Amino acid sequence: MAAAERALTLDGQLAEAHAVKARILSQYGRHDEAAVEIGIALRLDAESYEVNKSAAYLRVRQRRLEEAIPHYEKAMTLMETDVNSPSMLLTCYTAVGNPEGTARAAAIALARAEKILAQDQNNGAAMGYGVAALACLGDAERAREGINRALLIDPDNMNMRYNFACALTTHLRDLDGAIALLGPVFATTFIHRLNHAKVDLDPTPCGDDRRFQEMIAAAEARLAAADAPV
């Protein structure tokens, strides 16, 4: 935030700096302030990759998915190596009940993830996105193989674990497997990930599970204790 503010002091017309501010504000749940910043950013440069990614992120946090989708679609076309945008489109299209959009986004995400893994077979982010795409496309066997291999290579990658849990709950209906993966995630989580988990669309099947609720409560208590004055 400090870097974005410094950049805007030098040039208030920097769309990307406004987009960065919007993303940070939305991470803290300050959605009204974030909306102001993203509105400025879009007016300044609606073709910017960073601006569209931040706009989509804010709309997802607000659960305004129909508005998030075009921004992710735009971002996906602006950067061919972007795997996150088609993966988020997979999530959004699934949530709004668009199976054709879901399948198309999953196919793009899988192709991009496989291209990255061909160059770096230990890339945890790409493995996470690839597994989610495989699960969405109905290839449960390859998805589970990917999860097992990835956990052997990088068991402490919490973003990867979280993405795997999302794939298990949403597409493979394996709640127990997802809960097992999420245990270490919430035991070490920071406030941004916790806030995201509370509004995320993918782990929704976990929401009513007592084990999931207990993990959320324990993470909240740990973070609150860490912030408490000594």
pLDDT value for 202? 56
List, in order of start, the domains of the chain with CATH numbers: 1-79 (1.25.40.10)
Of 95-104, 122-131, 198-207, 220-229, the range with the lowest mean pLDDT is 198-207
**Mean pLDDT for the stretch of residues 98-113:** 96
Tokens of 104: 């198309």
Distance CA(226)–CA(182), nearest Å, equals: 21
pLDDT value for 39? 97
Q: Please state at what angle helix 210-227 crosses helix 175-188, rounded to 10 degrees.
A: 0
Dihedral sign for Cα 158, 138, 209, 207, please.
Answer: positive
pLDDT value for 117? 94
From the list 62, 3, 2, 9, the residue with the least C-alpha distance to 38 is 62
Question: Is residue 191 scored above 80 in pLDDT?
Answer: no
pLDDT band at 213; cut points 50, 70, 90: confident
Kind plus residue range of the DSSP H or E element containing 66: helix 65-78
Question: Is residue 83 scored above 50 in pLDDT?
Answer: yes
**Mean pLDDT for the stretch of residues 56-75:** 95
Q: Which has more pLDDT, 207 or 125?
A: 125
What angle is formed at CA 104 by the lines to CA 98 and CA 105, rounded to 5 degrees? 90
10-38 pLDDT, tens digit per residue, is: 998 999 999 999 999 998 889 999 999 99
Proportion of the chain above pLDDT 70, given as a percent: 92
pLDDT value for 124? 86
pLDDT value for 229? 53
pLDDT band at 230; cut points 50, 70, 90: very low
Number of other residues whose CB lies within 10 A of the CB of residue 114: 15
Q: Are 109 and 133 in contact (CB under 8 A)?
A: yes
**Mean pLDDT for the stretch of residues 160-185:** 88
pTM here? Answer: 0.82
Q: Which has more pLDDT, 162 or 48?
A: 48
Query: What are the backbone dihedrals phi and psi of residue 123, each rounded to the nearest 5 degrees, phi first?
Result: -75, 110
pLDDT value for 207? 62
From the list 130, 55, 68, 78, the residue with the least C-alpha distance to 101 is 68
- Which single residue is written with the structure tokens 């990835």? 150
- Which single residue is written with the structure tokens 């406004």? 18
pLDDT band at 199; cut points 50, 70, 90: low
Question: Is residue 211 scored above 80 in pLDDT?
Answer: yes
Question: Is residue 201 scored above 80 in pLDDT?
Answer: no
pLDDT value for 67? 97
With 0-12 CB in 10 A as exposed, 13-18 as middle and 19+ as buried, what is 120?
A: exposed
From the list 226, 112, 94, the residue with the least C-alpha distance to 167 is 94
